Structure 1
Amino acid sequence: MASRCHHCSGLSIEALVELAEREFSAHIFPKHAFYQHHSSFSNLEQSALQGCDFCGLILECFKGSPGQYETWPYKWEGSQNDITKSMYAFAKELDESDIKIALNAGNLYLNRTIEEVLVFDSVLVQVGPGENYDAEYVDEDEEGSWQLPPLELRLRTLGELHVRDYQIGYLKVDPDLSAKSNYDIARNWLHDCQFHHSTCLSRTARELPTRIVDVGNLGDAPPVLRLVHPQGAKGEGGNIDPVLNADTIEPYKGNIPFSELPLNFQDAITITRDLGIRYIWIDCLCILQDSPSDWLTESQNMGMLYQNSTVTISAMVSERSTHGILKGNPPIPDPRPRKLSVCSDKLSTIGISVERMSSNEESLRVLDMRAPLAARGWCLQESILSPRQLYYGNEQIYWRCPQGYASADGLTTGNRFPVALEPEISLLIYKNVLAQVDTGLPNLRNVLLSYQNLVQQYSSRSESDKLVAFSGLASRVHSALEGSYLAGLWSCNIRNCLLWIGELGTCRGRSPNDPVAFQAISWTTCQFELELIDSHITLQDDSNPYGKVLSGHLTVEGRTMPLVRSAQVVPERNEERQAGWGHFDEPVEGIDIQASWTFLAFNTTKSLIVSMETSREGQKDWDLDLTLFYPEDYLVLVVFAGNNSEEAADCLVLKRLSEQPDESYERVGTLAMYGDFRIAWIESWPSRILKLV
């Protein structure tokens, strides 16, 4: 065992667990129940120089991290860091710099309690008072009295370890994703789900796709375990070769040369064989790539294809079909991890290592948000509709089934995984394949809310056929909703569906891949409410109501008021004339689109609303400048407004389509109105029948 100072020799997981049971809050350093380490940072540094390896780990973390005392730095520079601008320099300047250590659970969400802890996976090191201490200990006005956030260190073990019923640390995993240990983990996940998860999937044999790739005779393996689909197969820019087409379909019925396949396909077939599965479905090898009619036919079956799969392989970090799934690229820990004792009365460290937490550490949650696969539109539907999913990252493998998530390092719950589907929409999606099905009627509001959340996730993904790539999800949600599906909208709640905005106001002109957000769903009976009179959708394929749309419009009736868009800049506060705030979907003539615009009410020759850009430097005394009006015809259309004057009236901003001979408009923004005059004023607005294109 490496040389240790007195403080580090007395430090143990067992002692830290006992302290955590006295006081714990996830990601928060405790005020009282902590292990008191060195009395100052200088003493810790001296201990490290004298050979204490654990003090040395803490010191190296401070020296290698660029100074950023509000939060622990998001990057690591190691020996390249300028020590005079590092966390080390901040710590050296502290008036109070004693060292305190506590156990924590970084896998939990902020402020979660000890009752929710299943795994203690991190050690927090606090230098000085810290931001979570009582105010009497910190003088924020005194120069040099900075409050450093705690340093977080990760715990890893060679085998499963428990102390007082808590799992300790992550399991160390083999960085070689093709290693036997990783295949064993994947097979165990699949076996447990198939034979021990009573509330997961039924074992009823389901129909195979039109075409399937047979990966070979697997001896005693079940003759059919249906399909495995390697997501992320299509590369960026350039075609995949070989593919199924009119020239290759006959030869492929006999044999597909393994060595000629892209590396993603080769790895997926290897995984399929090692899982003991006979068949794999790969889009490029199972759909005729030169036949639009075959694609249309197969695209309608995608939802059932994913649902009937035994498991779906997700190549999360593959940027193209030649990248491969199994090679992985785990980072090398820096600085070198150290060991920590389990019990205070033993010298043995029992394989527990402590290492610096990397800001770039991999988790399924991060992969789900940022990995190359997360940018593809089809992959959201594939992921959700597939009841079982085996994910391959750079560092390890992950799992999802109706019972929950898991990772090779031993975690099963917490903030390192994506947010699970709401139970009601999950039931709708998987009800045809679940072993046990709740026959109760789902809550309509919750279903729509979950659907809108999925649309928000999907909106920023790249895909040319967005409605087609979302059709499987839409068809399953439709089974619980009354009314019609209207190219992504629902007639049963048309008012909420229309009121989306560019997420966080970040869009600078709408594009097909801009993220959108929806307002909270309201079922309140309103005094003024948009009425859907008729709809007309022209589909590319009439047999698929959820497929590609060629054209469409809604005919609605509602209260309207003319709107003028102006280039005039006015002060931010215009209480007497303020009608509300809103968002435009597009900029005008080079003016940067704003997160929100002010809308003002005027009575000139006729009542109208004017939208203007606001500024803190705008003139206090100003008059309406008619010369700055844009020539386009706009309307404000009330979507709904309640009887309570404190509630906002939600409206659409519409632009007249001059090339259309009738009353045709397109949506160009939203407006939330407020003010005591609102209801009385809207009552005077004329009601019109419009066509929304």
Structure 2
Amino acid sequence: MLCALCDSINVTDLILLAKANTGVSKADEKKWKHHSTYDDIVAAARAGCELCKLLVASLDRGLQRPPWHEVKYKEVLLESEREGLSTGFRVEIRGNESVVPEKNGSEILNAVCFGFGEHDDVPLMLSLQAPRDRIRVVEGFQIGHYTIDPDLGSETNCKIARDWLKTCDERHYECPLVEDKELPSRVIHVGSDDRDPYILPTNGKFGKYIALSHCWGGHISIALTTQTLEEFKGKISMARLPANFRDAVLLTRRLGFEYLWIDCLCIMQDSLEDWEIESKHMGQVYHDAIFTIAASTASKSTDGILHTFTDYELSGISISLKLSKDGKPEDHVDMVLPNIKRENLGDLLRDEPLAARGWTLQEEVLSARTLFYGHQQIYWQCLHNYEAADGLRPWKVVNQRAFRYDQIKDRIHLPQGLQNPDTVKSRYVYERKNTTKEFHDSQTCRKLIEEYHKQMVVDYCSRNLTRTSDKFIAFSGIVTLVRDVLWAHGFPNSLYIAGIWSSHFRQGLIWYYKDDVSPSIQRAPSWSWATTNGKIAFNQTAFNADFTNTDIDPLLISHDVKLAGQNPFGEIKMASIVVSGSTMIMRGVDDIITNQKSKPSGYIHWDVQRNGRGRRKTAFYTCRLGKSSMFLYNPHPRESDLADRTGPSESNMEPNKIYKANNVRYKVLFIAKQGRQAHGLVLKLVAGNVGDENRDGNEMPNAEVGAADPDGSRSHAADTNVQMKTYRRVGYIWLSEKHANGNRYFDSYKWAEYEGWERETLDLI
């Protein structure tokens, strides 16, 4: 039962009202006529109005109110009534992002809100939903999202997935064709209801297959080994498969495919030789799969993929909303009060177990299409866009395409549009068709290098690896395809050196630690992000523009990488680079007295010490760099985000206070000037350099560097003529704002013009 005012609410009039209020101030907005006072709503609720009952209950919720304490909506409403300021309740229809519907006809209007006064927060928001076969369009807008089938393995959900793939293959010009590819060395033939799956050695056979992305979560009860290979070539009992694998087999069958690839059933787990061979091709496995099934919510192999949630959890209380004032009773959508938060793909990519596993990043990045299984529904992501079973998207349609990593995804998969260049529907196809090769190559590599460092490397370092020695190998599939893009777009000699690219080595060096997790000294050199076991970040502005050329820029002279196995991008025994660069001595200075003009000239991010004792925590580091005295701000690890360009204010330094500093000698290597900022690395001399104990560290060595490879670097492993000192990286410096030295101001971004730079050749380990 509804009261007369609630019964009059309809979709058509709500849309017309929203359009009429477009561009109008709140004071002049027209309001939907509803109950005027709290007592009126209570009376209607007591008379049996289901909608008013929900509204009364919602008014007991808390509202954040300045100065940031919580009060109940009911108290705020009654207070405004006592003061004669109440304007009654308002009713609005909303899309994904705003109260006012977008003009784009693909917009979904999926909520009706009840509020009062000028508060943007509303006490009651009801979700609109309808079955897929009963979705209505009003005034050019889809009304409501699709009702979800609670059984993720149902035929309804499988049909949705098949339709997504069909649409992608037939209409998405950004996406590769669904066609036969050379199969991996082994695949699982999924069998049928009458036959168990089995391992199929492919011997170069072509076909279509699906890959599984999952979390191991510890020991897996069944795996391919040298002992089980012959048995599994005959059959793998479905009863023996852990839930994740069993569900993946069932899905592959229901989606119409014969072949499935699962790492621990297609690579022999007790053969180092087989692992070395197959691990080099894992990136290609996900790249060539028709799509990848992502077991997003399963933390271990026994959790399962095909969950069923109770319909009540997402449906809750349901009330019919008419499409128009005089419409037929069957022309309605359901207004639903959800009992739990509705998940979306962003939640899965950020919060669920699969998002925390190191190996799965390259599986996501390299897959052209991914079918995600969440707690509540299924999702689809391809190079064109993403879909959810409920039809909702958290962003505007124009911002869809791949959720992230679109630069590399666009370039490692051959778009259908390149085969039909006159039919342009892809930004990438448009770029390829309408730009010169030189311009396109330049833009491609700049964007790719930015995405590689700021997104993929940062994301990867935030994830966990069961075996920390997998740091390189679990990223090698991405590296292989990034290399191919660089080679094809103007950098044919670029080499991968323990995490950085020789063609863009300076960009690869300007990262910093985001937490205090001790690094792995044996796994990677100090200058490589791969040495870390925790989160890192790159300077947020470092990729906004090209570096400015200066006379003191560093040059990569040579490199030395010793691999631990056959994979050229896998585990290493050691790595070092030789750099010809410009350096200055930096010392912590005791008894520097601040004055009113003292202001930090930038940031210093100390690396985590390898002895596990953490790093410097003092807020400021006072030092003498060359001939200049500097105050450098040392952000707290949890607050060290260079995206905050405001920096510390002058008030951070108390006037006439003596700041003590540890008088340790470091060397700063100039890395790059970029507009009004500069980047450098803090280095420390490695103990054991003969004759260096009593030196200042500023002497010029007599280095002989020999001939370089075409890419500008060469291995110096056997070069006995090169005489140089060896350093470790211990920090990163970023300078931007002006700083004071006595009564004189210096521009930090003119760091490259300072006197005192010495040119030398350094061995960095």
Could you say which TM-score interval applies, normalised by the shorter chain? 0.7 to 0.9
Alignment partner of 1:635 is 2:667: yes
Q: 1:603 to 1:319 in 2, by over 3 A?
A: closer
Amino acid at match of 2:114: V
1 CA distance for matches of 2:101 and 2:621? 42
Alignment partner of 1:68 is 2:64: yes
Partner of 2:411: 428
Q: 1:575 to 1:188 in 2, by over 3 A?
A: same
Is the Cα contact below 8 Å between 1:109 and 1:415 reproduced in 2? no
Partner of 1:130: 119
Amino acid at match of 2:662: F
Q: 1:23 to 1:381 in 2, by over 3 A?
A: farther
Give 2:254's match in structure 1, choosing from 274, 277, 282: 274
Partner of 2:459: 457
Partner of 2:485: 480
Is the Cα contact below 8 Å between 2:65 and 2:71 reproduced in 1? no
Give 2:265's match in structure 1, choosing from 285, 288, 292: 285
Seq. identity, %: 28
Amino acid at match of 2:482: V
Q: What displacement does 1:325 show?
A: 0.4
Deviations 1:102-122 (A, max 9, x none): 11112x489995448611112
Alignment partner of 1:313 is 2:293: yes
Deviations 1:276-321 (A, max 9, x none): 1111111111100111221121111112111221221111101110
Give 2:509's match in structure 1, choosing from 480, 495, 498: 498
Q: Structure 2, unaligned stretches of length 5 or more?
A: 195-204, 422-428, 520-531, 636-647, 691-723, 739-745
Is the Cα contact below 8 Å between 2:209 and 2:290 reproduced in 1? yes
Amino acid at match of 2:546: W
Partner of 1:446: 447
Alignment map for 1:571-650 (pairs within 5 Å): 575-576=597-598, 578-586=600-608, 597-602=619-624, 619-623=654-658, 625=660, 628-629=661-662, 631=664, 633-641=665-673, 647-650=676-679
Alignment partner of 1:210 is 2:168: no
Q: What displacement does 1:30 show?
A: 10
Q: 1:537 to 1:431 in 2, by over 3 A?
A: farther
2 CA distance for matches of 1:168 and 1:667? 58
* Matched residue SS, 1:229: strand
Q: What displacement does 1:593 show?
A: 5.4
Is the Cα contact below 8 Å between 2:589 and 2:624 reproduced in 1? no
Amino acid at match of 2:278: E
2 CA distance for matches of 1:325 and 1:567? 61
Is the Cα contact below 8 Å between 1:509 and 1:585 reproduced in 2? no
Alignment map for 1:405-420 (pairs within 5 Å): 405-411=386-392, 414=395, 420=403
Q: What displacement does 1:46 show?
A: 2.9
1 CA distance for matches of 2:124 and 2:593? 47
* Matched residue SS, 2:317: coil
* Matched residue SS, 1:322: coil
Partner of 1:388: 369
Partner of 1:230: 212
Amino acid at match of 2:410: L
2 CA distance for matches of 1:93 and 1:335? 31
Alignment partner of 1:535 is 2:583: no
Name the count of aligned residue pairs: 644
Q: 1:538 to 1:70 in 2, by over 3 A?
A: farther
* Matched residue SS, 2:273: helix
Is the Cα contact below 8 Å between 1:563 and 1:608 reproduced in 2? no
Partner of 1:554: 577
Is the Cα contact below 8 Å between 1:563 and 1:609 reproduced in 2? no
Q: What displacement does 1:56 show?
A: 1.9
Is the Cα contact below 8 Å between 1:567 and 1:613 reproduced in 2? no
Alignment map for 1:16-415 (pairs within 5 Å): 16-23=14-21, 32-63=29-60, 65-69=61-65, 86-95=72-81, 96-97=85-86, 98-106=88-96, 108=97, 113-115=102-104, 118-130=107-119, 148=121, 151-158=124-131, 159-216=134-191, 226-235=208-217, 238-329=218-309, 332-333=313-314, 336-346=317-327, 348=329, 350-356=331-337, 360-411=341-392, 414=395
Q: 1:472 to 1:665 in 2, by over 3 A?
A: same
Q: 1:610 to 1:665 in 2, by over 3 A?
A: farther
**More displaced, 303-312 or 560-569?**
560-569
Q: 1:305 to 1:608 in 2, by over 3 A?
A: same
1 CA distance for matches of 2:533 and 2:576? 18
Is the Cα contact below 8 Å between 2:174 and 2:416 reproduced in 1? no
Alignment partner of 1:692 is 2:764: yes
2 CA distance for matches of 1:314 and 1:343? 41
Deviations 1:413-448 (A, max 9, x none): 727979634654223221288874845544221121
1 CA distance for matches of 2:517 and 2:589? 18
Give the RMSD, CA atoms, in angstroms: 3.6
Scaled by the length of structure 1, the TM-score of the pair is 0.83
2 CA distance for matches of 1:70 and 1:426? 46
Q: What displacement does 1:566 show?
A: 7.3
2 CA distance for matches of 1:667 and 1:384? 30
Q: 1:351 to 1:378 in 2, by over 3 A?
A: farther
1 CA distance for matches of 2:98 and 2:477? 32
2 CA distance for matches of 1:153 and 1:51? 19
Amino acid at match of 1:229: A
Q: What displacement does 1:611 show?
A: 5.4
Q: 1:29 to 1:356 in 2, by over 3 A?
A: farther
Is the Cα contact below 8 Å between 2:495 and 2:501 reproduced in 1? yes
Partner of 2:198: none
Is the Cα contact below 8 Å between 2:59 and 2:123 reproduced in 1? no
Q: 1:190 to 1:203 in 2, by over 3 A?
A: closer
Q: Structure 1, unaligned stretches of length 5 or more?
A: 74-83, 132-147
Is the Cα contact below 8 Å between 1:406 and 1:413 reproduced in 2? no
2 CA distance for matches of 1:546 and 1:290? 22
Partner of 1:139: none
2 CA distance for matches of 1:109 and 1:296? 52
2 CA distance for matches of 1:190 and 1:182? 13
**More displaced, 481-490 or 608-617?**
608-617
**More displaced, 657-666 or 10-19?**
657-666
1 CA distance for matches of 2:26 and 2:688? 64
Partner of 2:731: 669
Amino acid at match of 2:53: G
Q: 1:205 to 1:92 in 2, by over 3 A?
A: same
